[in-house]
Amino acid sequence: MAPLDPAPRTPAWESAIVARRYYLEGKQKNEIADELGISRFKVARLLDDALAQGVVRIDVALPDGLDVELGDALAARFGIRRGHVALAQEGVPTTDLLGSAAARLLTARLTRDDVLGISWGSTLTAVVDAVDELAVGEVVQLVGGVASAGLEVNGVELLRRIARSGGATVRPLHAPFLVGSADTARLLRDDPSLAPTIERFSAVTVALLGIGSLSTGRSALWTELDAPARAELTRLGAVADLGGSILAADGSIVTADALDRVIAIDAERLAAVGEVIAVAGGEGKSDAIAAALRSGLVDTLVTDSATARELLADPA
């Protein structure tokens, strides 16, 4: 029995006519079908043929300074929504790289309908430094302050600078990050001076947080704890601080008596935020970042390319 003849090749001109209407004129497939008197399924086939025959060539221009491939690999590995990876640049501090990348992301992501929740620290200060103007309706401080933080990195100052750049309503949290007792923390959370801000935690649509590393001591909360409390957290396997939520290496929430003294958004309300953006990178941070990604609390990570490779190389 003679072999069947191969399906006839679609003329390139026919694919080109359909491709021009679809890609250049922005017409829908059903519009093209009606105009040319063919089925919508044939339109779809002709578009596929246009790509296969080289009639249409698609070139994606990648944004400068970002490694999209590494970002996609991070998202797939840890099951997060987005990995935003800044390419390392000679002579540019990692904090500045992260600040610039996160500022561009926030500028594109936020609208006047959003309520931005923010912690504080040197990395988030770099983000605010890199923002020209931020379109956001309201900014809420999610974490109390510490006496050791400089004026330029504390939460109230960051809120003031964001408001100045875009005219947002600000909700400062005029309270310490860590107080002397659990009873004091409960009283402060209910105090009329703090309640209006704490009540707005539930309204936050986008949260911007740093990630503290307990093993390296690069955590504001860790520096505030006394030696017995640190020893207890170490015994419990704590490695990361995400907006006051303390995490073990597997991403689980660590509970301890000392943490009842924290004034910050709790993990339950953080999990309810529409998008949590964590900004962290640099030497010694990968273990803490991995824990934060495994927690399920982070939707988007902004990091640097060296840290991204460390995270992907981790066999755990």
Instruction: Identify the band that residue 4 occupies on the pLDDT scale cut at 50, 70 and 90.
Output: very low
45-59, 86-100, 132-146, range with the lowest pLDDT = 45-59
User: Percent of the chain having pLDDT more than 90?
Assistant: 55
State the pLDDT at residue 161: 84
280-310 pLDDT, tens per residue? 999 899 999 999 999 999 999 999 999 999 9
Cα–Cα dist 20/3, whole Å? 36
HEC letters along 19-79: HHHHHHCCCCHHHHHHHHCCCHHHHHHHHHHHHHCCCCCCCCCCCCCECHHHHHHHHHHHC
Cα–Cα dist 131/242, whole Å? 23
User: Pairing between strand 206-210 and 169-171?
Assistant: unpaired
Cα–Cα dist 84/7, whole Å? 45
Instruction: Identify the band that residue 5 occupies on the pLDDT scale cut at 50, 70 and 90.
Output: very low
Say whether pLDDT at 1 is over 60. no
Amino acid identity at 299: D
Say whether pLDDT at 22 is over 80. yes
Say whether pLDDT at 79 is over 50. yes
Structural contact between residues 229 and 256, judged by C-beta atoms closer than 8 angstroms: yes
Say whether pLDDT at 63 is over 60. no
208-229 pLDDT, tens per residue? 999 999 988 888 888 889 999 9
User: Percent of the chain having pLDDT more than 70?
Assistant: 92
Residue-range domains of the chain with CATH: 1-59 (1.10.10.10), 68-313 (3.40.50.1360)
State the pLDDT at residue 157: 83
State the pLDDT at residue 148: 57
